[in-house]
Amino acid sequence: MPMTQAVSAPSASSPLLRIETRGRVLVVGLNRPAKRNALNDAIILEIERCFAALSEDVGAVVLHGIGEHFSAGLDLSELQERDATAGLHHSRMWHRVFDAIQQSRVPIIAALQGAVIGGGLELACAAHIRVADPSAYYALPEGSRGIFVGGGASMRLPRLIGVHRMADMMLTGRVYEANEGVALGFSQYLVAANGALAKALELAERVAQNAPLTNFAVLQALPMIAEASPQTGLMLESLMAAVAQSDQEAKNRIRDFLEKKIGKVISG
């Protein structure tokens, strides 16, 4: 499917985020290439503002890094000394922002290249689909720096790769390359060099065409069903199926599909 011509959205952009629209896809670029897109409080809050103001016209979001890296994680040059209370509230602020990404009403697709480490990996884990090119690599250097993850990695990453593998990364500084990452669950796609953004846009344009309620069910209900007891999960599935099928959008799509199928049978 040909990609829609990019249309800038300068009113939504900032020095820290480069934002544009491509049809129903919002493209959000972390814009600190000189810092390998390291994350500080300012860019985290810009991300929060961006996701809090998603237009109803947006059907999917692509998140990527400007330059050669997705994100090298926490910007240690701006790390402040905090007491335990301030540190707790700071971590919870990151949780709030990354939760907003994970719980977004539309699918979030991360295009990964270069460094995807520390807080950058935490940000990537909050997305629903991750596409990597061969330059991507994953690491959690917090252990060697005397700190602990604070952006949700201890909750999200073990669900992707397992607790023991994450522990190994933090204890030993182990780095995983892109080809290992797709096999282990860091990403769902591995594409050719410099192809992550194009693939992410292709996927975003595809999922943006789905019925909004179906996308919402996949993003919100599916994780709950997967973690529920079998009987609770099956009941939630039945309820979600009933709600989705009763939606007018679903009825219109099923009717259109059946009419096209009948038309082919008659013409054949």
- Residues carrying an active site annotation: 122, 142
How far, in Å, CA of 139 to CA of 174, rounded?
Answer: 6
Which residue is associated with the tokens 């629209």? Answer: 21
Task: Estimate to the nearest angstrom the gap between the alpha carbon of 195 and the chain centroid.
Answer: 17
Residue 120 to residues 53, 117, 220, 234, 267: CA-CA distances in angstroms? 22, 5, 23, 35, 54
Tokens of 2: 């040909």
Distance, in Å, from the CA atom of 1 to the CA atom of 38, rounded to the nearest integer, reads 33
DSSP, collapsed to helix, strand or coil, labels residue 49 as: helix
Instruction: Say if strands 129-132 and 176-177 run parallel, antiparallel, or are unpaired.
Output: unpaired
* d(C-alpha 245, C-alpha 252), whole Å: 10
